[in-house]
């Protein structure tokens, strides 16, 4: 019952997609700094490799474009070669697209859905042998999907495919929980609110400030906020949780 045991990820192996920046970087740092061995991936090789070099030998970069099935398969094969047993999979990679309903393009739909939903399902599928190898009734493997509060409430922004994709991720997580539980794999999701990242940097300043003011805690999320919930879901502390969505947004989605 000691906290250092309940929340420990020391010696665990983990994959963090979209791990080179933003929320993915926050999660990767938390895992490495607490003793896990981590593979990060992102489409931009230079960003991915720079962060891995900064975090040290416990972090490995394997760049990949997970919106493409061939890249999902290649990445999964490289992970399997390095980690025959995989304890934790963070499906974090994502994209967004904003446009009015009259002008919203097909590419803005397909790009977002392929990365935000399709890759979550198929990367998990391809890594199931490694997750099962690490799993037991006393120590389940973990799939942790990054959704968004935009999958829980109606946004003020016209990001149709993003909102639909994140709602899909949250329900996909529940489906995974039901059908992977018997294989000693839990599936949970995090629904972040506003965290500074390259994606949120694309939102106009007046909207970002409006989000902050409307948030009951009057601030945006920071790395500690994400690290805490990520370590909880990755550790023994959450062993009897599956199919859950933890909202980390300072109260925005439930009060605005």
Query: In this structure, are residues 122 and 69 in contact, taking their beta carbons and an 8 Å threshold?
Result: yes
Catalytic-labelled residue, pool 162, 195, 211, 252: 162
Q: Domains of the chain by range and CATH?
A: 3-249 (3.40.50.720)
pLDDT digits 0-9 by tens, 89-98:
999 999 999 9
pLDDT digits 0-9 by tens, 148-202:
999 999 998 999 999 999 999 999 999 999 999 999 999 999 999 999 876 666 6
Q: Quote the crossing angle between the two packed helices 223-234 and 22-33, to the nearest 10°.
A: 60
For the ranges 12-16, 145-149, 162-166, 219-223, the lowest mean pLDDT is seen at 219-223
User: Pick from 202, 105, 101, 215: which is nearest to 149 by CA?
Assistant: 215
Average pLDDT, the chain: 95
Sort 91 into a burial class: Cβ within 10 Å, 0-12 / 13-18 / 19+: buried
Whether 162 sits among the annotated catalytic residues: the reply is: yes
Question: Which residues have CB under 8 Å from 131's CB, separation 6+?
Answer: 86, 87, 89, 124, 141, 143, 185
Among positive and negative, which fits the CA dihedral 52, 77, 199, 7? negative
pTM summary value: 0.95
User: Pick from 157, 90, 146, 142: which is nearest to 116 by CA?
Assistant: 146
SS3 86: coil
Backbone angles phi, psi at 49, to 5 degrees: -70, -35
SS3 38: strand
> Tokens standing for 88?
């934790």
Neighbours of 105 (CB within 10 A): 11
């Amino acid at each position: 019952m000691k906290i250092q045991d309940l929340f420990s990820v020391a010696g665990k192996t983990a994959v963090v997609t979209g791990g080179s920046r933003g929320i993915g970087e926050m999660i990767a740092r938390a895992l490495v700094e607490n003793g896990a061995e981590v593979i990060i991936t992102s489409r931009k090789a230079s960003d991915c490799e720079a962060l891995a070099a900064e975090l040290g030998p416990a972090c490995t970069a394997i760049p990949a474009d997970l919106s493409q099935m061939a890249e999902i398969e290649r990445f999964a094969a490289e992970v399997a070669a390095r980690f025959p047993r995989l304890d934790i999979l963070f499906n974090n990679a994502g994209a967004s697209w904003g446009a009015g309903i009259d002008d919203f393009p097909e590419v803005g739909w397909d790009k977002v859905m392929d990365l935000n939903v399709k890759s979550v399902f198929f990367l998990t599928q391809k890594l199931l042998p490694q997750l099962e190898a690490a799993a037991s009734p006393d120590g389940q493997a973990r799939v942790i999907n990054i959704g968004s509060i935009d999958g829980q409430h109606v946004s003020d922004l016209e990001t149709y495919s993003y909102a639909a994709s994140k709602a899909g991720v949250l329900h996909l997580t529940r489906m995974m929980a039901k059908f992977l539980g018997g294989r000693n794999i839990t599936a949970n999701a995090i629904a972040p609110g506003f965290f500074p990242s390259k994606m949120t940097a694309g939102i106009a300043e007046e909207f970002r400030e409006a989000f902050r003011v409307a948030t009951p805690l009057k601030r945006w999320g920071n790395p500690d906020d994400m690290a805490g919930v990520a370590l909880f879901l990755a550790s023994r502390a959450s062993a009897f949780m599956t199919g859950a969505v933890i909202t980390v947004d300072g109260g925005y989605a439930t009060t605005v």
